[in-house]
Amino acid sequence: MTGHVVAVAVTSGAPTFELAVPCEVFGVDRRDIVDPWYDLRLCAAEPGDLRNSAGMRVDTPHGLDDLVAADTVLVTACARPAQLAPPAGLIDAVRRAHARGARIVSVCSGVYVLAEAGLLSGRRVTTHWMNAADLAHRHPDVHVDPDVLYTDDGDILTSAGTASAIDLCLHLVRKDHGAAVANEVARRMVVPPHREGGQAQYVRPPARPLPRGDDLAPVLHWALDRLHEPLTVSQLARRAHLGERTFARRFRDRLGTTPLQWVLQQRVRLAQELLETTDEPVEGVARRTGFGTAANLRHHFGRVAGVSPQTYRQVFRHRAAVGAVAGAEPAGSGAVTP
């Protein structure tokens, strides 16, 4: 049984990191987590010997016809020449893939290809903040948001630069297989827990040097271990040895959200994992995640996840059960080689 096919469009001079991220997330065989796993296919977007920005040759055993037939099409960051004049064949292939119902994803400056294909008119998208003004100027019909990590418009998803490629790829895994699977992939990649797409791309440096050892990580880990307990800004600020206003300001500067909104998001993520991996009643999940009552859990869970806890459990427990009994052919995966 073949897994969900992710076709990555490879252009000449593609930045190394942005090309490597989808290979790591989708191309590594993780059938011990979910079977079948993804089927990654590196597709040559132009003829010739393709090399990335570091000069390494990229093995692309697939072509644009394979890209058109994929379930998800991912256009990675492009060198400046491909941004300004994307290969005509790639533009056509992306259009055709979208027309047949494929999910279209861009990483960083790959969004230029989607814009040239005419897929972004009237849509909210993002890209690396250094490219945002240029993209908006060249495509005034596109709503470019330079302040977020990624956008999800259903069939079109876009990300900012570099590390946000990880955030978006893990977001896709979360959409396809649920929070528990995405969290396990993140643990294996040794990357931080899921960052929301609305988090700021970058933060302004503080006006004056921070005291030695200043770090919010300890208080975040402390809070994650106590999501089942009542948590207030006052408690978190005391734990961080800061005044409430200073703590709230520093928290927003670092994480792009308020302390209480962050706690809410973490409680919903924990609820997702419990719904996927345990048979605990919704009332028990509500208590373990700090929502207190099933009604309170349903209210906040629905706002964040878009569905009720019961529906979420049915969907992802069913997918997990299907994956556990389904056989799979070895997943194909291209490789970046010297």
* pLDDT score of 255: 78
Per-residue pLDDT tens digits for 143-184: 999 888 999 999 999 999 888 999 999 999 999 999 889 989
* Ordered domains of the chain (ranges, CATH): 5-189 (3.40.50.880), 204-327 (1.10.10.60)
* pLDDT score of 146: 87
* pLDDT score of 140: 94
Whether the Cβ atoms of residue 92 and residue 69 lie closer than 8 Å to each other: no
- Name the token pair of 218: 């300890």
* Tokens 């302004």, located at residue: 204
Amino acid at 71: D
Q: What are phi and psi for residue 316, nearest 5 degrees?
A: -80, -30
Hey, which residues does 7 pair with through a beta bridge? 41, 73
Whole-number Å distance between alpha carbons of 21 and 133? 25
* pLDDT score of 213: 46
Distance of CA 250 to the CA centre of its chain: 25
- Name the token pair of 125: 């998208």
Helix, strand, or coil (residue 291): coil
Sign of dihedral through CA atoms 291, 296, 302, 308?
Answer: positive
> For residue 192, is pLDDT > 80?
no
Q: Compute the radius of gyration of the chain from its Cα atoms.
A: 21
Whole-number Å distance between alpha carbons of 18 and 162? 6
Q: Summarize the confidence of residues 273-284 as an average pLDDT.
A: 92
- Name the token pair of 233: 């800004």
> For residue 109, is pLDDT > 90?
yes
Mean residue pLDDT across the chain: 87
Q: How far apart are the first and last CA of the chain?
A: 31
> For residue 101, is pLDDT > 50?
yes
